[in-house]
Amino acid sequence: MFRLCLDDTCRAVDQCQACERNALIICFLINALMFGLELYYGILSHSVSLLSDSAHNIGDALILGSSIVVIGSAVKTKAKLALIKSIIMFAFGIMALVYVLNNIMTGYVPDPRPITYVGIFVLIGNIISAVILLYYRNKDINLKSAYICCRNDALSSVGIIIAGLLVMFTQSNIPDIVIGGGIALLICTSAIRIFKESTNVIRSQL
């Protein structure tokens, strides 16, 4: 039976692991869908903010997918995986910054409508994911890293909506550049934080 318990005081190990796995599966599917939408409309509208966030979401989809595999594993194993995921996040952050530089060089003004509409849809998806993982974030480093990713995505989505509205009213690519750069920096700083925390967990298990 598909089970999803949102009781963060639950200590029934078998039931908790089943709930954690189901929560991660739901969030993985949501992030995969959001990645596809942002990538398609990002390319269609030449939006740096959508392309940057699509990179963020594919990173999150990989993170959530790998998290499903290690539920029930040893703390050290989870910490090692979180370490690898932080490196993946950082790589996507750098890639997003490349998109920002490209947009600055071309000066292209993206179509604001897809940015705004997709941003609203993605915000809803990220809020749902963050709320689901909120109940599991303190159980281990792996679930905490997944929660941080979804929480950051919700903040990024608000920025994308604002970028779309500002591009619409100003007819300038500057809002798209600023939001795209902000998302990229958010990815990089979060990756560094998870990397440090994972390293500390690994060292404590030696």
Query: Above 50 in pLDDT, residue 1?
Result: no
Cβ atoms of residues 169 and 109 within 8 Å: no
Helix/strand/coil (H/E/C) assignment for every residue in 118-144: HHHHHHHHHHHHHHHHHCCCCCCHHHH
Instruction: Provide the token pair at 142.
Output: 């792996």
Q: What is the mean pLDDT of residues 83-97?
A: 82
Give me the sign of the Cα torsion angle 176, 181, 186, 188.
Answer: positive
Question: At 73, which amino acid appears?
Answer: S
- Helix, strand, coil shares of the chain, percent, nearest 5, are 85, 0, 15
Q: What pLDDT is stored for residue 153 in this prediction? A: 80
How far is CA 131 from its chain centroid?
14
- Looking at per-residue pLDDT, the higher value among 188 and 82 belongs to 188
CA distance 199 to 7: 29
* Joined tokens for residue 148: 């941080």
Q: Which domains does the chain have, with CATH numbers?
A: 13-204 (1.20.1510)
* pTM check: above 0.75: no
Per-residue pLDDT, 7: 55
Q: What is the pLDDT of residue 13?
A: 41
